[in-house]
Amino acid sequence: MKQQHNILVIGGTGKTGRRVADLLQQKNQHVRIGSRSQDPPFDWQDPATWTAALEGMDRVYITYHPDLAVPGAYEAITGLVAAAKKAGVQKLVLLSGKGEREAERCEDVVATSGLDYTLVRASWFNQNFSESFFLEPVLSGRVAMPMPEARIPFVDADDIAEVAVEVLLNDAHNGQTYEISGPRLLTFAEAVSEIAEATGRNIQFQPVSLEDYAQGMEAQGVPAPVIWLFKYLFTEVLGNPRNSEVTRDVAKVLGRPAKDFRTYAREVAATGAWTPKVTMI
């Protein structure tokens, strides 16, 4: 029987966090969800909540919303690591971004903490098309995006979660940094085409300039910090050649290939998540 751990999953209601929490519970681990709605609550914006959330925990899965690149993330991670050490936490697993210089500063805080740790750097998620900011454009049948030339090894949140659970529970991964990606490169147009094929719908991709994209977000009332983050991701991250590299770290950790985008698209299409709702008048 595997040892039972007390594991705080920060962001435990998010794309990877809820998957990590579910998998850990299936493995009979004691899981505490780190979110504002839980008891005790965890709120990145309120460090006073961190002590109670960390109490009694020996391992922590860390995701930072919205991204480790945003202003304030470095200070938050620094404060959390200090609080975790004080609380007697033994191991940290940080979900980071592949090819993000600002995120690497946060990684250094974890890696030099004196605690056991594993760093998981992920490419852009498949689930951005089904659980996040690209869902509404897919439903509308028109996906307008900048950086049409970028080739991205989209990675599935299920794979990220399985890697995170493996490294949380297996100390053979202590001190390691894994860069996880999907098995092939796709442009945004190719990804949209895969979704169109899986759904049987006519979904068009339209390239736009980054400035037009940002102006469109502003017109829709998107907050300025979110617009800044998108511009950063499209320029600094997608413009980084490291993000056009397919890695084999999913197979290295899990002993199986990473999920292909086509498989993901077919799975989501089968759920009806990309089927536009018909409004009855």
Copy the structure tokens of residue 134: 């690209």
198 inside domain: no
User: What was the pLDDT predicted at 279?
Assistant: 61
| Domains held by the chain: number | 1
Does residue 176 lie in a domain region? yes
The sign one gets for the Cα dihedral 151, 173, 109, 54 is positive
Mean pLDDT score, 226-253: 87
Predicted local confidence at residue 1, as pLDDT: 47
Percent of the chain scoring above 90 in pLDDT:
82
| pLDDT(251) > 80 | yes
From 129, 112, 13, select the one nearest 61 (Cα to Cα): 13
DSSP state at residue 143: E
> Which DSSP state fits 243?
G
The pLDDT value given to residue 277:
83
For residue 38, being part of any structural domain is answered with: yes
Task: Of 26-40, 96-110, 194-208, give the lowest mean pLDDT range.
Answer: 96-110
Q: Is residue 62 part of a domain?
A: yes
pLDDT band at residue 225 under the 50/70/90 scheme = confident
* Res. 9: pLDDT tops 90: yes
Residue type, 5: H
Supply the Cα-derived Rg of the chain in whole angstroms. 19
What is the spatial distance between Cα 126 and Cα 195, in angstroms, rounded to a whole number? 11
Residues 6+ apart with CB under 8 A from 31: 7, 9, 12, 21, 24, 25
Q: Which domain holds residue 68?
A: 6-123+155-182+245-258
Residue 129 tokens, joined: 């098309």
Residue 23 within any structural domain of the chain: yes
Residue 12 burial (CB count, 10 A): 25
Residue 280: per-residue pLDDT: 58
CB 68 within 8 A of CB 100: yes
Q: Tokens at residue 267, please? A: 């799975």
Flag whether 193 is in a domain: no
**72 dihedral zone (left: phi>0; alpha: psi -120 to 50; beta):** left
Q: Give the pair of three-digit tokens for residue 264.
A: 């993901």
**Which tops the pLDDT comparison, 2 or 36?**
36
Q: In the predicted model, what is the mean pLDDT of residues 154-164?
A: 98
Q: Which residue has the tokens 């705080």?
A: 8
Residue 274 CB coordination number (10 Å): 21
Per-residue confidence band for 241, with pLDDT thresholds at 50, 70 and 90: confident
What CATH number did the domain enclosing 76 receive? Answer: 3.40.50.720
Instruction: Identify the pLDDT of residue 117.
Output: 98
Residue 229 falls inside a structural domain: no
Task: Specify if 159 maps to a domain.
Answer: yes
Q: Which pTM value belongs to this model?
A: 0.95
192 has pLDDT over 90: yes
